């Protein structure tokens, strides 16, 4: 059975002390009430060493939201995959739509980051998703197929086994608009079918595919009930303890 995961993407929110306190409270909650899903907190870089200390490994894990495309050296302002790993983090998000659009990260760069992160020992939460105009013109499946083909599908089967895919329709991120459970299921099944053709039946069955985009306590259970939706990547609602815990419990 593939893993269920709910990951919080804090984005650029919370200062250090606030973030550590918040992570500790999430950890305390799931220690008392173990969840069926793996819980991952994807925090800003500066929180990672501290968060990794305050969470009980195995119950709540942590990850970065991006990493450099180069392993080390003269790249002012960058943070390497090895540095992230050295904090105790196990995951890194690659290819979030905010990285793709605001920082112009293309499929080739994202592929490089993904391979580098995996070679460092991190697991990758690889994001894909179409913008509103692509959904409206009916090209959403093709857009996501190309993102996966160019960003992921040159990975070896072993590398690919370290990947979680997050489908995040860009029009649903932070907008209050959510994909319907049927829209999410259609895309998740399509992704799983592509993976089946590329990496085989077992890899497709074992792949965890998360939904992200205005996921909240009121819609999580219905989205997660779909057979190819294995959890969520949560933005805004991951900053509120009650909402985040309720979403995890919707699994």
Residues near 97 by Cβ (< 8 Å), separated by ≥ 6? 127, 129, 168, 170, 173
Contact status: 52 vs ligand 13P (CB under 6 A): no
Q: Which stretch binds ligand 13P (CB under 6 A): 27-35, 83-91, 188-196, 235-243?
A: 235-243
Residues in 173-212 at the binding interface with ligand 13P, rule: CB under 6 A: 173-174, 212
Contact criterion met (CB below 8 Å) for 135 and 94 = no
96 belongs to the catalytic site: yes
Q: Which stretch binds ligand 13P (CB under 6 A): 66-74, 136-144, 191-199, 230-238?
A: 230-238
Q: Which of 144, 213, 228, 244 binds ligand 13P (CB under 6 A)?
A: 213
**Of residues 28 and 217, the one with the C-beta less far from ligand 13P:** 217
One character per residue 113-152, x = contact with ligand 13P (rule: CB under 6 A): ----------------------------------------
One character per residue 8-47, x = contact with ligand 13P (rule: CB under 6 A): -x--------------------------------------
Least Å distance, CB 234 to ligand 13P, is 5
Catalytic position from the list 38, 105, 134, 168: 168
27 dihedral zone (left: phi>0; alpha: psi -120 to 50; beta)? alpha
Q: What is the largest CA-CA distance in the chain?
A: 47
105 belongs to the catalytic site: no
Contact criterion met (CB below 8 Å) for 233 and 9 = yes
**Of residues 101 and 225, the one with the C-beta less far from ligand 13P:** 101
Strands 163-167 and 209-211: parallel
Residues in 92-111 at the binding interface with ligand 13P, rule: CB under 6 A: 96
Q: Residues interacting with ligand 13P, by CB under 6 A?
A: 9, 96, 168, 173-174, 212-215, 233-237
């Amino acid at each position: 059975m593939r893993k269920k995961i709910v990951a919080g993407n804090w984005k650029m929110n919370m200062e250090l002390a606030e973030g550590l306190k918040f992570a500790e409270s999430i950890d305390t909650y799931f220690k008392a009430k173990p969840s069926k899903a793996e819980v991952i907190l994807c925090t800003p870089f500066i929180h990672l060493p501290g968060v990794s200390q305050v969470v009980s490994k195995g119950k709540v894990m942590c990850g970065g939201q991006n990493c450099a495309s180069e392993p080390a050296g003269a790249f002012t302002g960058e943070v390497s995959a090895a540095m992230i790993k050295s904090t105790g983090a196990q995951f890194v998000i690659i290819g979030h739509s905010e990285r793709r659009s605001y920082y112009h990260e293309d499929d080739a760069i994202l592929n490089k980051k993904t391979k580098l992160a995996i070679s460092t020992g991190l697991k990758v939460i690889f994001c894909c998703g179409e913008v509103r105009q692509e959904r409206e013109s009916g090209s959403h499946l093709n857009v996501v197929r190309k993102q996966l083909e160019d960003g992921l599908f040159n990975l070896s089967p072993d590398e690919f086994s370290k990947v979680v895919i997050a489908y995040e329709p860009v029009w649903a991120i932070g907008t209050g608009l959510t994909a319907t459970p049927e829209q999410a299921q259609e895309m998740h099944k399509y992704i799983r079918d592509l993976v089946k053709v590329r990496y085989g039946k077992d890899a497709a069955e074992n792949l965890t595919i998360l939904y992200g985009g205005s996921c909240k306590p009121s819609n999580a259970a219905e989205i997660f009930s779909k057979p190819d939706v294995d959890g969520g990547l949560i933005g805004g609602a991951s900053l509120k303890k009650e909402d985040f815990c309720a979403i995890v419990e919707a699994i």
